[in-house]
Structure 1
Amino acid sequence: MNVGSTAPAAVSTPLLEDFSLEMTGKDVARLEEAATAIPRGTRINVTFLGNEDLTMRLAAARAVKRLGFVPVPHISARRLGSQRQFEDFLAGLRSDGTCDNVFVVGGDPHRPEGPYDDSLSLIRTGLLQRYGVHHVGISGYPEGHPAIPGGVLWSALGLKDSELAERGLSGGITTQFAFDVDPVLAWIEAVRERGITLPVRIGVPGPAGVRRLMSYAARFGVGAGASVAKKYGLSLTGLMGTAGPDRFLRALADGYEPGRHGEVKVHFYTFGGLRATSEWVTGFRKEALA
């Protein structure tokens, strides 16, 4: 991690204000360990993995709230086996006071396990607002999706934007992480040209081992060729090393124009390293303000 480098003040304002983090249901102990390094009120997404159950997901959301943060539970459409399972989760969130914010996503299974094929179908049920949800996060894919054609992605994004507005739900877009700023900013500009004004949180990999970063990139279809990796600061010949997103954030600050890109913030994918990511962000912000 290149924490000792000089960063421009623009990085911290406004891009690193109100950043968000991601955790899994199994990361509660890691969150407790990292809590003192995370600003109170930080939005923390809780993923909806296939190897975690309702009890674990609800407990993680409760822990986020208990520690002074804003829980954003994920709901994976294709992992829901029935409407009853969907409502049980929403009812549990409402009972715990953790239902204000959710993030809806299609999910990994190739075939739906129940009646919901994608995140749009969850929004269209009307169940989100019935159970007290006020803000809905949706996904964005600046570099595309390995299993979904680009035209389908754009159509779905527009439909979700319209559906949220019609139902009186506020929303935001969180993108898949990337190693190259240029296609991300170009994608956001294309979003704005389509009349979509939802705030965008740009997905950024937290500091992690190079091998782990490359593994996740391959899994999610993120472009990580040799030239892109070098631009980000990854050494494909030094897979045992670690890398942080300092170069990415500097390039983002240089290219970001509020008039063209609208409201943009940063979302860190922590890969289980909640404390490492939080401390890295704290150090980077201090440098940016120095």
Structure 2
Amino acid sequence: MSYAAIHPNWEKPRANMVDGYSLEMTAKELDGLREAAPLIRPGTQIAITFLPGEEMEQRVVAAELVRELGFEPIVHLSARRLTSEAELDKYLSDIAASAGVKRVFVIAGDPPEPEGPYENSLQIIESGLLEKHGIEVVGVGGHPEGHPNNTKAELWDWMERKLAAVRSHGMVPLVVTQFAFDDDAIVAWVKEMRARGIDVPVRLGVPGPAGIKRLLGFAKRCGVGASANVMKKYGVSITNLIGSAGPDKLVASLDKGLTPDLGRVRLHLYPFGALKASAEWVNEYDAKH
């Protein structure tokens, strides 16, 4: 299976940094998606998160709406939040049957102790359940700024093991990163990835336009580096939390740093509840470039 299975334009150079972008939403943002839908390009891939406080049925309904509105659902699977193999089996069956889901993104999840049989995302990939329900593309996590629970060497080892497992089960691998503000760290991470011979497509997580307090709050909650120097490059002063900020400076810098020799790279926008604002920003950026 070619990388065109991930997105049709993966096989050609990107027109600009928002060419082939994807978005993220929670299972509770149905009204927000309906409002933003007229601004989002048909066929855009929209990831549906797997957060605490949601019911499985809510996630299924969200996937159905993404498909109904003309977009491509990518369903998150949080290994440590799954209570049983039967729960995972049923969820995959439901989203495949009602929303035609072919893409998933697997993560370990936040709970320190698993709520069921899965401790990590590799166990889900190796379960055989993904291909059983027709999943074709499997995204795994990337961490340009590191991870509090793993060393740098461990993160690369885990990534390579997961990518190999995806391929061995007959599916196409993709890497999707946590959002980050540090352009230098992101570019250096992509360069190291390619130097290691990891040639899979990458979706780089960038924060969408949002209030400054909201951006910093999500950064703290997700363990993302947001030092004064990094945020200054992003266009935010942490001594002035009034107003909002967008990813223009970050994306412009990434556009310069992510040269064609670094392979297939596209953006994944984290809207933080502001889907319409992120879709508007994408359209404005596209019109300028």
The TM-score range, normalised by the shorter chain, is over 0.9
The SS at the match of 1:26 is coil
Q: Secondary structure of 1:268's partner? A: strand
How many residue pairs get aligned? The number is: 277
Relative contact order (alpha carbons < 8 A, sep ≥ 6): 1 or 2 greater?
1
State the partner residue of 1:63: 65
Kindly indicate whether residue 51 of structure 2 is the aligned counterpart of residue 49 of structure 1. Answer: yes
Deviation at 1:102, TM superposition (A): 0.8
CA contact (8 A) 1:28 1:60 kept: yes
- Structure 1 segments of 4 or more deviating over 3 A? none
| 2:110 alignment partner, one of 108, 111, 124 | 108
TM-score (norm 1): 0.93
Contiguous gaps of at least 5 residues in structure 1 = 1-11
Aligned residue among 101, 113, 116 for 1:99: 101
Within a 5 Å distance, the mapping from 1:33-182 to structure 2 comes to 33-182=35-184
**Does residue 238 of the first structure (1) align with residue 240 of the second (2)?**
yes
**TM-fit CA distance, 1:137:** 0.9
The alpha-carbon deviation at position 256 of structure 1 amounts to 1.1
TM-score, scaled to structure 2: 0.93
CA RMSD of aligned residues (A): 1.2
Aligned-partner residue type, residue 108 of structure 1: D
Which range moves more in the overlay, 93-102 or 171-180?
93-102
Instruction: Name the counterpart of 1:17.
Output: 19
Shift, 1:14, TM fit: 3.9
Partner of 2:267: 266
Deviations 1:218-277 (A, max 9, x none): 112211111111011011122121000000011011111121x11000000010100011
Q: What amino acid sits opposite 2:18 in the alignment?
A: L
1:206 CA displacement: 0.2
Structure 2 counterpart of 1:4: none
Q: Secondary structure at the match of 2:54?
A: coil
98-107 vs 20-29, which deviates more?
98-107
1:207: Cα distance to partner? Answer: 0.2
Is the 8 Å Cα contact of residues 26 and 50 (structure 2) preserved in structure 1? Answer: yes
- Aligned residue number for residue 282 of structure 1: 283
> What secondary structure does 1:25 align onto?
coil
Q: CA deviation at 1:149?
A: 2.4
Contact map agreement 1:76 1:119 (CA 8 A) in 2: yes
Deviation at 1:13, TM superposition (A): 2.1
CA contact (8 A) 1:146 1:220 kept: no
Structure 2 unaligned regions, length at least 5? 1-13
Secondary structure at 1:122's aligned position in 2? helix
| 2:43 alignment partner, SS class | coil
Overall identity of the aligned pairs, in %: 45
